[in-house]
Amino acid sequence: MAQNSLSRTITARSLADLWAKLKTQNPRVHCITNSVVQNLTANALLAVGAVPSMTTDANEIADFSRSADALLVNLGTLDAERRHAITTAIPLINAAGKSWVLDPVMIDRAPHRLAYARELLALAPAIIRANQTEAEMLGLQHNVLAISGVEDRVEAAQGRIFLMHGHAYGSMITGGGCALSAIMAALAALTDSPVLAAATGFAAYGLAQDIAARDAEGPGSFAVRLLDELANLTPERLAYDLSMRIEDRP
């Protein structure tokens, strides 16, 4: 087995350790994100120990980007102000050697959005968090790709990681995937391994969904309980309950 194979470096213990780090180090995540989901995204980041900011104002975006530990770029409501904020923020994050996550929301619905997402790929996001359709449209080859689905998976040069957590209620609340992308950005601020950050985000968010759904009466109560379970999920429980499969590339 190769020394740098995924199965050597991505373990229940490494995921739990990164989750513990998130809970104590409070990274600042600037989110250029969908206006519909800002509240859930901010609350999810606060629940896991991160510090969110959301401004897209032209007079502030440079300052907030410089002071952030990581950046989320979500294309959900891609208006002119957000495009300007994205264009300003990414070079500053890259120049500082910090990580950013791209969430190419609904690039299948508008050709200009797809073209813009492809332009952003050249600016080297640490993680692309997408669904299967979005991933296929981007045609990614050399990025860390976190694909949400019935079975979540992380695609990387070294292999693939499958995570078997989550609940159907997750697809019934607006912004669940956007909040997940923000959590991955927070985790990416704390490790040199985007693969580890993506896998930890999937695992923790999926387990929190599993637990939240047990007492939920529907998607409304589930959304509230999800924030509780993100806040309450311990590293020990993440490691103990983790359901993960790894396929190393030869």
**All structural domains of the chain with their residue ranges:** 6-248
CB atoms within 10 A of CB 23: 15
d(CA 42, CA 8): 34
Overall residue count recorded for the chain in this entry: 250
Query: Two tokens at 116?
Result: 């813009």
The pTM assigned to this predicted structure is: 0.96
Residue-wise pLDDT tens for the chain (250 aa)?
A: 455 689 999 999 999 999 999 999 999 999 999 999 999 999 999 999 999 999 999 999 999 999 999 999 999 999 999 999 999 999 999 999 999 999 999 999 999 999 999 999 999 999 999 999 999 999 776 679 999 998 999 999 999 999 999 999 998 998 899 999 999 999 999 999 999 999 999 999 999 999 999 999 999 999 999 999 999 999 999 999 999 999 998 8
The CATH number of the structural domain formed by 6-248 is 3.40.1190.20
d(CA 116, CA 58): 20
